[in-house]
Structure 1
Protein backbone atom coordinates (compact mmCIF):
# COMPACT_ATOMS: atom_id res chain seq x y z
CA UNK A 1 0.00 0.00 0.00
CA UNK A 2 1.54 3.38 -1.01
CA UNK A 3 2.46 5.76 1.79
CA UNK A 4 -0.07 8.58 2.05
CA UNK A 5 1.70 11.91 2.65
CA UNK A 6 0.87 13.76 5.83
CA UNK A 7 -0.44 17.31 5.23
CA UNK A 8 2.49 19.69 5.32
CA UNK A 9 5.09 16.94 4.74
CA UNK A 10 7.89 18.14 2.41
CA UNK A 11 7.90 16.32 -0.96
CA UNK A 12 11.44 15.03 -0.34
CA UNK A 13 10.39 13.46 2.97
CA UNK A 14 7.34 11.88 1.29
CA UNK A 15 9.55 10.42 -1.43
CA UNK A 16 11.84 8.88 1.19
CA UNK A 17 8.87 7.40 3.05
CA UNK A 18 7.61 5.83 -0.15
CA UNK A 19 11.05 4.42 -0.97
CA UNK A 20 11.33 3.00 2.55
CA UNK A 21 7.90 1.40 2.27
CA UNK A 22 8.74 -0.12 -1.13
CA UNK A 23 12.03 -1.52 0.17
CA UNK A 24 10.32 -3.06 3.22
CA UNK A 25 7.91 -4.80 0.85
CA UNK A 26 10.83 -6.02 -1.28
CA UNK A 27 12.67 -7.26 1.82
CA UNK A 28 9.61 -9.20 2.94
CA UNK A 29 9.15 -10.68 -0.52
CA UNK A 30 12.79 -11.86 -0.53
CA UNK A 31 12.40 -13.54 2.86
CA UNK A 32 9.19 -15.23 1.72
CA UNK A 33 10.82 -16.42 -1.52
CA UNK A 34 13.86 -17.86 0.26
CA UNK A 35 11.67 -19.52 2.88
CA UNK A 36 9.57 -21.25 0.22
CA UNK A 37 12.65 -22.28 -1.80
CA UNK A 38 13.93 -24.01 1.32
CA UNK A 39 10.61 -25.76 1.83
CA UNK A 40 9.91 -24.04 5.15
CA UNK A 41 6.57 -22.94 6.54
CA UNK A 42 6.23 -19.74 8.53
CA UNK A 43 5.92 -21.82 11.67
CA UNK A 44 9.14 -23.69 10.89
CA UNK A 45 11.01 -20.45 10.17
CA UNK A 46 9.69 -19.02 13.42
CA UNK A 47 11.03 -22.04 15.29
CA UNK A 48 14.43 -21.91 13.59
CA UNK A 49 14.86 -18.16 14.10
CA UNK A 50 13.26 -18.05 17.57
CA UNK A 51 10.90 -15.31 16.39
CA UNK A 52 7.13 -15.20 16.54
CA UNK A 53 4.93 -16.43 13.70
CA UNK A 54 2.81 -13.21 13.63
CA UNK A 55 5.95 -11.04 13.42
CA UNK A 56 7.33 -13.03 10.48
CA UNK A 57 3.97 -12.91 8.73
CA UNK A 58 3.89 -9.11 9.00
CA UNK A 59 7.52 -8.88 7.94
CA UNK A 60 6.94 -10.92 4.78
CA UNK A 61 4.11 -8.57 3.86
CA UNK A 62 6.25 -5.48 4.43
CA UNK A 63 4.09 -4.29 7.32
CA UNK A 64 6.73 -4.04 10.04
CA UNK A 65 10.31 -2.92 10.58
CA UNK A 66 12.77 -5.70 11.43
CA UNK A 67 15.81 -5.08 13.61
CA UNK A 68 19.37 -6.10 12.77
CA UNK A 69 19.36 -8.85 15.46
CA UNK A 70 16.09 -10.30 14.14
CA UNK A 71 17.39 -10.14 10.55
CA UNK A 72 20.49 -12.02 11.69
CA UNK A 73 18.33 -14.81 13.14
CA UNK A 74 16.25 -15.00 9.98
CA UNK A 75 19.34 -14.98 7.75
CA UNK A 76 20.99 -17.82 9.68
CA UNK A 77 17.78 -19.86 9.44
CA UNK A 78 17.72 -19.28 5.66
CA UNK A 79 21.44 -19.82 5.10
CA UNK A 80 22.32 -16.26 4.14
CA UNK A 81 23.33 -12.98 5.85
CA UNK A 82 21.41 -9.98 7.13
CA UNK A 83 23.41 -7.75 4.77
CA UNK A 84 22.41 -9.86 1.77
CA UNK A 85 18.76 -9.60 2.81
CA UNK A 86 19.03 -5.82 3.17
CA UNK A 87 20.78 -5.47 -0.19
CA UNK A 88 18.00 -7.44 -1.87
CA UNK A 89 15.50 -4.82 -0.70
CA UNK A 90 17.29 -2.15 -2.74
CA UNK A 91 15.84 -3.67 -5.91
CA UNK A 92 12.76 -1.54 -5.19
CA UNK A 93 14.84 1.66 -5.31
CA UNK A 94 14.25 3.44 -8.65
CA UNK A 95 17.73 5.04 -8.43
CA UNK A 96 19.45 1.66 -8.89
CA UNK A 97 20.38 1.70 -12.57
CA UNK A 98 21.12 -1.16 -14.94
CA UNK A 99 24.79 -0.24 -14.62
CA UNK A 100 24.59 -0.88 -10.87
CA UNK A 101 25.47 2.71 -10.00
CA UNK A 102 23.95 3.74 -6.69
CA UNK A 103 24.02 7.15 -5.06
CA UNK A 104 22.74 7.29 -1.48
CA UNK A 105 22.16 10.78 -0.12
CA UNK A 106 22.35 11.67 3.56
CA UNK A 107 19.21 10.33 5.25
CA UNK A 108 18.39 7.94 2.40
CA UNK A 109 18.77 4.16 2.33
CA UNK A 110 16.75 1.52 4.12
CA UNK A 111 17.14 2.17 7.84
CA UNK A 112 16.92 -0.73 10.27
CA UNK A 113 16.82 -0.44 14.09
CA UNK A 114 19.91 -1.80 15.79
CA UNK A 115 20.62 -2.21 19.49
CA UNK A 116 21.47 1.30 20.69
CA UNK A 117 21.05 2.95 17.29
CA UNK A 118 20.30 2.45 13.61
CA UNK A 119 21.84 0.68 10.61
CA UNK A 120 21.52 1.86 7.01
CA UNK A 121 22.20 -0.18 3.88
CA UNK A 122 24.26 1.82 1.37
CA UNK A 123 24.86 -0.80 -1.33
CA UNK A 124 22.83 -2.73 -3.86
CA UNK A 125 22.44 -6.41 -4.84
CA UNK A 126 24.42 -5.90 -8.07
CA UNK A 127 27.64 -4.92 -6.26
CA UNK A 128 30.31 -7.22 -4.84
CA UNK A 129 30.27 -5.57 -1.40
CA UNK A 130 27.61 -4.72 1.17
CA UNK A 131 28.38 -1.41 2.93
CA UNK A 132 26.30 -0.65 6.03
CA UNK A 133 26.45 2.52 8.13
CA UNK A 134 25.86 2.18 11.88
CA UNK A 135 24.86 5.19 13.98
CA UNK A 136 24.68 4.79 17.73
CA UNK A 137 25.52 1.57 19.56
CA UNK A 138 25.01 -0.11 22.90
CA UNK A 139 27.69 0.45 25.54
CA UNK A 140 27.57 -3.19 26.70
CA UNK A 141 28.52 -6.20 24.60
CA UNK A 142 25.65 -8.19 23.18
CA UNK A 143 25.63 -11.50 21.31
CA UNK A 144 28.31 -12.49 18.82
CA UNK A 145 27.51 -12.33 15.10
CA UNK A 146 29.18 -14.19 12.25
CA UNK A 147 28.75 -14.42 8.49
CA UNK A 148 30.62 -15.96 5.54
CA UNK A 149 31.83 -12.70 3.99
CA UNK A 150 35.06 -10.99 5.05
CA UNK A 151 34.39 -7.63 6.73
CA UNK A 152 36.10 -4.24 6.93
CA UNK A 153 35.25 -1.73 9.68
CA UNK A 154 36.04 1.99 9.59
CA UNK A 155 35.27 4.27 12.55
CA UNK A 156 33.89 7.57 11.27
CA UNK A 157 33.27 9.12 14.69
CA UNK A 158 33.39 8.14 18.35
CA UNK A 159 35.20 5.17 19.85
CA UNK A 160 34.42 1.47 19.65
CA UNK A 161 35.64 -1.76 21.20
CA UNK A 162 35.53 -4.76 18.85
CA UNK A 163 35.57 -8.28 20.32
CA UNK A 164 36.68 -11.09 17.98
CA UNK A 165 36.79 -14.85 18.56
CA UNK A 166 39.72 -16.00 16.43
CA UNK A 167 41.52 -19.32 15.97
CA UNK A 168 44.09 -18.02 18.47
CA UNK A 169 41.47 -17.08 21.04
CA UNK A 170 39.58 -13.94 21.98
CA UNK A 171 41.03 -10.65 20.71
CA UNK A 172 39.70 -7.20 21.69
CA UNK A 173 40.61 -4.02 19.80
CA UNK A 174 39.80 -0.43 20.78
CA UNK A 175 39.34 1.85 17.78
CA UNK A 176 38.91 5.62 17.48
CA UNK A 177 37.82 7.88 14.61
CA UNK A 178 39.97 7.18 11.56
CA UNK A 179 40.92 3.64 12.69
CA UNK A 180 39.94 0.54 10.74
CA UNK A 181 39.84 -3.21 11.25
CA UNK A 182 39.41 -6.20 8.93
CA UNK A 183 38.67 -9.85 9.69
CA UNK A 184 37.89 -13.04 7.85
CA UNK A 185 34.39 -14.27 7.21
CA UNK A 186 33.14 -16.71 9.81
CA UNK A 187 34.84 -14.83 12.66
CA UNK A 188 32.38 -14.33 15.56
CA UNK A 189 32.39 -10.63 16.38
CA UNK A 190 30.60 -7.97 18.36
CA UNK A 191 31.21 -4.35 19.27
CA UNK A 192 30.20 -1.70 21.75
CA UNK A 193 30.54 2.06 21.91
CA UNK A 194 33.02 3.62 24.29
CA UNK A 195 32.17 6.99 25.79
CA UNK A 196 29.33 8.93 24.14
CA UNK A 197 27.27 6.35 22.25
CA UNK A 198 25.38 9.09 20.38
CA UNK A 199 28.62 10.04 18.59
CA UNK A 200 29.19 6.48 17.43
CA UNK A 201 29.32 6.15 13.66
CA UNK A 202 30.80 3.11 11.95
CA UNK A 203 31.03 1.94 8.34
CA UNK A 204 31.05 -1.85 7.88
CA UNK A 205 31.81 -3.24 4.42
CA UNK A 206 31.24 -6.96 3.88
CA UNK A 207 31.94 -9.16 0.86
CA UNK A 208 28.64 -9.77 -0.89
CA UNK A 209 27.15 -13.23 -0.49
CA UNK A 210 24.74 -15.09 -2.68
CA UNK A 211 21.36 -15.00 -0.88
CA UNK A 212 20.67 -18.52 -2.12
CA UNK A 213 23.90 -20.24 -1.11
CA UNK A 214 25.62 -17.89 1.35
CA UNK A 215 28.85 -18.15 -0.66
CA UNK A 216 30.94 -15.17 -1.73
CA UNK A 217 30.08 -13.74 -5.13
CA UNK A 218 32.90 -12.83 -7.53
CA UNK A 219 33.09 -9.28 -8.80
CA UNK A 220 31.56 -8.77 -12.21
Structure 2
Protein backbone atom coordinates (compact mmCIF):
# COMPACT_ATOMS: atom_id res chain seq x y z
CA UNK A 1 0.00 0.00 0.00
CA UNK A 2 1.36 3.43 -0.93
CA UNK A 3 1.20 6.28 1.57
CA UNK A 4 1.58 9.83 0.33
CA UNK A 5 2.08 13.01 2.20
CA UNK A 6 0.39 15.69 0.17
CA UNK A 7 0.37 19.41 -0.42
CA UNK A 8 -3.04 19.55 1.25
CA UNK A 9 -1.74 17.71 4.29
CA UNK A 10 0.84 20.40 4.95
CA UNK A 11 0.23 24.08 5.42
CA UNK A 12 2.18 25.62 2.58
CA UNK A 13 4.87 24.29 0.29
CA UNK A 14 7.53 21.82 1.31
CA UNK A 15 10.91 22.76 2.72
CA UNK A 16 13.34 23.06 -0.22
CA UNK A 17 16.29 22.05 1.94
CA UNK A 18 14.63 18.88 3.16
CA UNK A 19 13.70 17.90 -0.39
CA UNK A 20 17.25 18.51 -1.59
CA UNK A 21 18.65 16.43 1.27
CA UNK A 22 16.39 13.52 0.38
CA UNK A 23 17.43 13.82 -3.27
CA UNK A 24 21.14 13.97 -2.39
CA UNK A 25 20.92 10.88 -0.17
CA UNK A 26 18.96 9.02 -2.83
CA UNK A 27 21.50 9.83 -5.53
CA UNK A 28 24.48 9.00 -3.30
CA UNK A 29 23.01 5.52 -2.86
CA UNK A 30 22.43 5.10 -6.59
CA UNK A 31 18.64 4.96 -6.22
CA UNK A 32 16.21 6.18 -8.84
CA UNK A 33 13.05 8.04 -7.89
CA UNK A 34 11.05 4.94 -8.74
CA UNK A 35 13.27 2.67 -6.64
CA UNK A 36 13.12 4.87 -3.54
CA UNK A 37 9.38 5.43 -3.92
CA UNK A 38 8.81 1.67 -4.08
CA UNK A 39 11.10 1.03 -1.12
CA UNK A 40 9.32 3.65 1.00
CA UNK A 41 5.80 2.77 -0.16
CA UNK A 42 5.22 6.21 -1.69
CA UNK A 43 4.16 7.28 -5.17
CA UNK A 44 6.87 8.44 -7.57
CA UNK A 45 5.04 11.70 -8.50
CA UNK A 46 4.75 12.65 -4.82
CA UNK A 47 8.43 11.90 -4.16
CA UNK A 48 9.41 14.00 -7.18
CA UNK A 49 7.36 16.93 -5.85
CA UNK A 50 8.85 16.50 -2.38
CA UNK A 51 12.42 16.60 -3.68
CA UNK A 52 11.64 19.83 -5.55
CA UNK A 53 10.08 21.48 -2.49
CA UNK A 54 6.59 21.42 -4.00
CA UNK A 55 5.01 19.04 -1.47
CA UNK A 56 5.09 18.56 2.29
CA UNK A 57 5.46 15.03 3.73
CA UNK A 58 3.44 13.67 6.59
CA UNK A 59 5.59 12.48 9.49
CA UNK A 60 4.68 8.89 8.57
CA UNK A 61 5.95 9.44 5.01
CA UNK A 62 9.12 11.08 6.30
CA UNK A 63 9.76 8.14 8.65
CA UNK A 64 9.42 5.72 5.73
CA UNK A 65 11.79 7.76 3.59
CA UNK A 66 14.37 8.08 6.35
CA UNK A 67 14.28 4.36 7.07
CA UNK A 68 14.56 3.56 3.35
CA UNK A 69 17.62 5.82 3.12
CA UNK A 70 19.30 4.21 6.13
CA UNK A 71 18.88 7.13 8.52
CA UNK A 72 16.40 8.53 11.06
CA UNK A 73 13.81 11.27 10.74
CA UNK A 74 15.57 13.62 13.22
CA UNK A 75 18.91 13.09 11.45
CA UNK A 76 17.39 13.72 8.02
CA UNK A 77 15.76 16.95 9.22
CA UNK A 78 18.93 18.14 10.98
CA UNK A 79 21.16 17.42 7.98
CA UNK A 80 18.81 19.40 5.74
CA UNK A 81 19.81 22.57 7.59
CA UNK A 82 23.47 22.68 6.53
CA UNK A 83 25.98 21.32 4.03
CA UNK A 84 28.60 20.73 6.75
CA UNK A 85 29.79 17.14 7.23
CA UNK A 86 30.18 17.51 10.99
CA UNK A 87 28.63 19.87 13.54
CA UNK A 88 30.62 21.26 16.47
CA UNK A 89 28.26 24.14 17.28
CA UNK A 90 24.70 24.69 16.04
CA UNK A 91 22.48 27.69 16.79
CA UNK A 92 18.85 27.49 15.67
CA UNK A 93 16.97 30.68 16.44
CA UNK A 94 13.23 31.03 17.03
CA UNK A 95 11.26 30.64 13.83
CA UNK A 96 14.08 28.85 12.00
CA UNK A 97 15.10 25.21 11.62
CA UNK A 98 13.82 22.59 9.21
CA UNK A 99 10.07 22.30 9.87
CA UNK A 100 7.47 19.79 8.70
CA UNK A 101 3.80 20.79 8.98
CA UNK A 102 1.28 17.96 9.24
CA UNK A 103 -2.24 17.14 10.38
CA UNK A 104 -1.12 16.74 14.00
CA UNK A 105 0.63 20.14 14.14
CA UNK A 106 4.27 20.69 13.21
CA UNK A 107 7.73 19.29 13.90
CA UNK A 108 10.87 21.47 13.94
CA UNK A 109 14.52 20.40 14.11
CA UNK A 110 16.43 22.27 16.83
CA UNK A 111 19.88 21.39 15.52
CA UNK A 112 21.52 21.62 12.11
CA UNK A 113 24.04 19.14 10.74
CA UNK A 114 25.34 15.80 11.97
CA UNK A 115 25.08 16.11 15.73
CA UNK A 116 25.43 13.80 18.71
CA UNK A 117 21.97 14.77 19.98
CA UNK A 118 18.93 15.26 17.75
CA UNK A 119 16.22 17.41 19.39
CA UNK A 120 12.82 17.97 17.79
CA UNK A 121 10.13 20.43 18.89
CA UNK A 122 6.58 19.19 18.31
CA UNK A 123 3.62 21.55 18.28
CA UNK A 124 0.70 19.22 19.01
CA UNK A 125 -2.81 20.18 17.89
CA UNK A 126 -4.48 16.82 17.21
CA UNK A 127 -6.69 15.39 20.00
CA UNK A 128 -6.65 11.99 18.26
CA UNK A 129 -3.83 9.44 18.30
CA UNK A 130 -1.90 8.82 15.09
CA UNK A 131 -0.05 5.59 14.24
CA UNK A 132 2.46 4.09 16.67
CA UNK A 133 6.14 4.75 15.95
CA UNK A 134 9.13 2.75 17.08
CA UNK A 135 12.85 2.94 16.36
CA UNK A 136 16.14 1.48 17.50
CA UNK A 137 17.17 4.29 19.85
CA UNK A 138 15.80 5.61 23.15
CA UNK A 139 14.06 8.98 23.49
CA UNK A 140 13.41 11.57 26.16
CA UNK A 141 10.15 13.52 25.90
CA UNK A 142 9.73 16.79 27.83
CA UNK A 143 6.55 18.88 27.85
CA UNK A 144 7.19 22.60 27.40
CA UNK A 145 3.56 23.78 27.39
CA UNK A 146 0.06 22.32 27.34
CA UNK A 147 -0.96 18.75 28.11
CA UNK A 148 -0.58 15.53 26.13
CA UNK A 149 -1.34 11.85 26.58
CA UNK A 150 1.44 9.44 25.61
CA UNK A 151 0.51 5.89 24.64
CA UNK A 152 3.38 3.39 24.99
CA UNK A 153 1.41 0.35 23.87
CA UNK A 154 1.88 -2.48 26.36
CA UNK A 155 3.90 -0.18 28.62
CA UNK A 156 0.89 1.97 29.50
CA UNK A 157 -0.48 5.46 28.95
CA UNK A 158 0.62 8.63 30.71
CA UNK A 159 -0.89 12.12 30.80
CA UNK A 160 1.83 14.75 30.95
CA UNK A 161 1.83 18.48 31.63
CA UNK A 162 4.42 21.28 31.65
CA UNK A 163 7.84 20.22 33.00
CA UNK A 164 6.89 16.50 33.00
CA UNK A 165 9.54 14.28 31.43
CA UNK A 166 9.23 10.74 30.06
CA UNK A 167 11.95 8.33 28.93
CA UNK A 168 11.32 5.22 26.83
CA UNK A 169 13.80 2.78 25.40
CA UNK A 170 14.45 1.79 21.82
CA UNK A 171 11.75 -0.27 20.09
CA UNK A 172 9.03 0.86 22.54
CA UNK A 173 6.00 1.79 20.40
CA UNK A 174 4.82 5.31 21.15
CA UNK A 175 2.41 8.01 20.04
CA UNK A 176 0.89 11.08 21.66
CA UNK A 177 -2.12 13.36 21.38
CA UNK A 178 -3.32 16.71 22.67
CA UNK A 179 -5.34 16.77 25.89
CA UNK A 180 -7.55 19.78 26.61
CA UNK A 181 -6.98 23.23 25.15
CA UNK A 182 -4.00 23.51 22.87
CA UNK A 183 -1.65 23.59 21.30
CA UNK A 184 0.92 21.71 23.34
CA UNK A 185 4.67 22.07 22.79
CA UNK A 186 6.86 19.03 23.32
CA UNK A 187 10.63 18.53 23.14
CA UNK A 188 11.77 15.07 22.02
CA UNK A 189 15.49 14.20 22.01
CA UNK A 190 17.20 11.20 20.40
CA UNK A 191 20.90 10.37 20.37
CA UNK A 192 22.60 10.78 17.02
CA UNK A 193 24.37 7.85 15.46
CA UNK A 194 22.71 4.53 14.56
CA UNK A 195 19.80 4.91 12.12
CA UNK A 196 16.26 4.01 13.03
CA UNK A 197 15.39 0.50 11.88
CA UNK A 198 11.65 0.53 12.30
CA UNK A 199 8.98 3.14 11.70
CA UNK A 200 5.21 3.54 11.84
CA UNK A 201 3.42 0.39 12.88
CA UNK A 202 0.40 0.07 10.61
Equivalent residue number for residue 207 of structure 1? 191
Query: Are the aligned partners of 2:143 and 2:161 in contact in 1 as well (CA < 8 Å)?
Result: yes
State the alpha-carbon separation in 2 of the partners of residues 155 and 202 from structure 1: 5
2:66 matched to which residue of 1? 75
Change (3 A) 1:162 1:106: same
Give the conservation status (yes or no) of the 8 Å contact 1:163–1:171: yes
Match of 2:179 in 1: 194
What is the CA-CA distance between 1:37 and the residue it aligns to?
A: 4.3
Distance 2:168 2:82 in 1: 28
Equivalent-residue separation in structure 2 for 1:185 and 1:154 (angstroms): 17
Q: State TM-score, norm by structure 1.
A: 0.74
TM-score (norm 2): 0.80
8 Å contact from structure 1 (residues 139, 197) kept in 2: no
Structure 1's unaligned 5+ residue stretches are 1-20, 216-220
Cα distance in structure 1, aligned partners of 2:51 and 2:25:
11
Question: Which residue in the other structure is 1:84 paired with?
Answer: 75
Question: Retained in 2: the 8 A contact 1:79–1:214?
Answer: yes
> Does the 8 Å CA contact 2:57/2:100 hold for their aligned counterparts?
yes
The answer to whether the 8 Å contact 1:144/1:190 transfers is yes
| Conserved 8 A contact 2:97-2:112 | no
Structure number, greater radius of gyration: 1
Q: How many residues align?
A: 185
Matched, 1:24 2:15: yes
- Greater helix share, 1 or 2? 1
Of 29, 32, 52, 1:61 maps to: 52
Which SS does the other structure have where 2:49 is aligned?
Answer: helix
Counterpart in the other structure of 2:156 = 171
Q: Give the C-alpha shift of residue 60 in structure 1.
A: 1.9
